[in-house]
Homo-oligomer: A and B are copies of this chain.
Amino acid sequence: MSIIDPQESTLYQQLAETFATAIHQGTWLPGSRLPAIRRVAGSHQVSVNTVLNAWRILEDRGLIEARPQSGYFVRGRLPSLTKTRQHRAQVITPGSEKLDLIDTVFAAQNHPDYLNISLACPQNSDFYPTAKLSRITASLLRRHPGMIGRYALPPGSERLRREVARRSMDSGMALNSDDITVTHGCMEALQLALRAVTQPGDCVGLETPTYFYLFPLLASLGLKTVEIPTDPQRGLSLDALEMLLSEQRLQAIVAMPNVQNPLGCSMTLEDKKRLAKLVNDYQVPLIEDGLYGELQFNWPLSPAVKAFDRHGWVIYCSSFTKTLAPDFRIGWVAAGRFSAAVARLKAVSSMAESALLSETLAQFLESGGYDHHLRTLRRRYATQLDEARGLIARHFPQGTRATQPQGGFVFWLEMPGNVDGVALFHHLLQEKICVTPGALYTLSDRCKHAIRLSCCYPFDERYTYALKRAGALACEMSGIAPGNESTHGSMGVVGAK
């Protein structure tokens, strides 16, 4: 299944997709050697360079690796989930039990003594260009000593908004700086977007599973949640969504069409176009959370749904928190027809963002180092994702399935034998290891046997140890033996047909 529009893709991307599909389907098992480059070039009637470019994409995605003097080999892989779950669209508000669980897990995730293998933030400086950013900040302070003494005002740094607009082209959007309001991270972007388009009592459609902080966010605004079936490989079910829209049961939708959290999946290009058309036809705002969009393993990036937004019904939210400077908490929102409302809300929500931090990012983006940095980050995450999947295949109960993320660094495990994710979380916490139970990502009673993991950490002994311990405990709880090296090829991918 290609997620690149044939019209837009180039020769080497098509080739990469062909081989990626073959690898996923088991044509080449993990550890096996790919055909020689000249041979592939010959059989596909392309140049050697085209093959090398295709191989680089597969390397970035963690699918293959080069071994010196030997050629390219398929890496160890993890199977995917297959079960299609039964869904009934239900209007729910989170009970205090769920909110308490979110608090408990959040507190554990932030506890300095715990070994966290689940937090969606590297907490590690060498994943970011901190040295270069620091130099820019220090230089701004030197050259513009008055900057600290001036009031920051909405809609935020013109220079940063211009850079954001310029880069939005990479995701197929044609924004200009006036379309953009700078926000305090993606969380505030989502908060403002929701407040701009809903009234208390409204129903908001969410993916299942979805980013767990959306539940308290919606609850804090008096909004009701309608969970929509979401395929671990294709994302939001558009048939289910269209049904809900036609029944006028939703006043807004929040979704992550690219690199969904926690599943890691992206929608196909066709689905994105259909989603854009649906929300424009039904005139129901879609809040598109693009937080991980730039961490897609594909390049060029698969476009945002916002790229196909004809009449401004898509509100695009994103941030540099996951890609550049987590501490700065600089995000942005392009709110289409709701731009004026969002800009007004920003002023009365928290006024504006620091010019010092905004200008630092703007200058970094202008300098052109961002693309190189993203490329390094993508490759790193793709590699670590694959290594993590390899470990899980060996140490978690046989029958464990995992999602095959299209980008980012979080993924989703479903465990066999009634292993309860919340129980596993509590058991592991006693050993000071922190995972996130799947139950957090839905208000329903689905996802009980799932956990979300993250591979954004340095892949060191501590991380490996924690992952193995989690697997050993899951085996113990389920009474099922762990997988082993030989089962890699057949380990299920979440959502695979």
Contacts and interface: CB of A to CB of B under 8 A. Distances in A.
Interface string A118-143: 01011111111011011001100110
Interface stretch (A234-242, A244-252, A347-355): A347-355
B145 A125 contact: yes
Interface of A: 99, 103, 106, 110, 119, 121-128, 130-131, 133-134, 137-138, 141-142, 145-153, 183-185, 187-188, 191, 195, 199-200, 213, 216-217, 220, 222, 321, 325-329, 344-345, 347-357
A151 B349 contact: no
* Interface residues of A, dominant DSSP: helix
9 contacts: A123-B150, A125-B150, A130-B146, A138-B138, A148-B328, A187-B350, A220-B348, A327-B354, A349-B350
A184 B350 contact: yes
Given A216-B347, A216-B348, A348-B216, A125 B141 contact: no
A325 B141 CA distance: 13
B200 A148 contact: no
B187 A151 contact: no
A349 B191 CA distance: 6
Contacts of A188: 349-351
A124 B149 contact: yes
Which of A127, A150, A220, A350 neighbours the largest number of chain B CB atoms within 10 Å of its CB?
A350
Contacts of A119: 151
Nearest to A151: B121
Nearest to A121: B151
Contacts of A220: 195, 344-345, 348-349
A401 to B, nearest CB: 29
Contacts of A329: 152, 350-354
A150 B355 contact: no
Contact of A141 (B128, B138, B153): B138
A222 B137 CA distance: 40
Given A110-B153, A130-B145, A148-B327, A216 B138 contact: no
Given A123-B149, A152-B327, 14 more contacts: A103-B344, A122-B149, A124-B146, A126-B149, A130-B146, A130-B148, A148-B325, A149-B326, A187-B350, A188-B349, A199-B200, A220-B348, A329-B354, A357-B357
A134 B125 contact: no
Contacts of A103: 344
Contacts of A183: 350
A456 to B, nearest CB: 11
Nearest to A122: B149
Contacts of A141: 134, 137-138
Contacts of A123: 149-151
Nearest to A322: B151
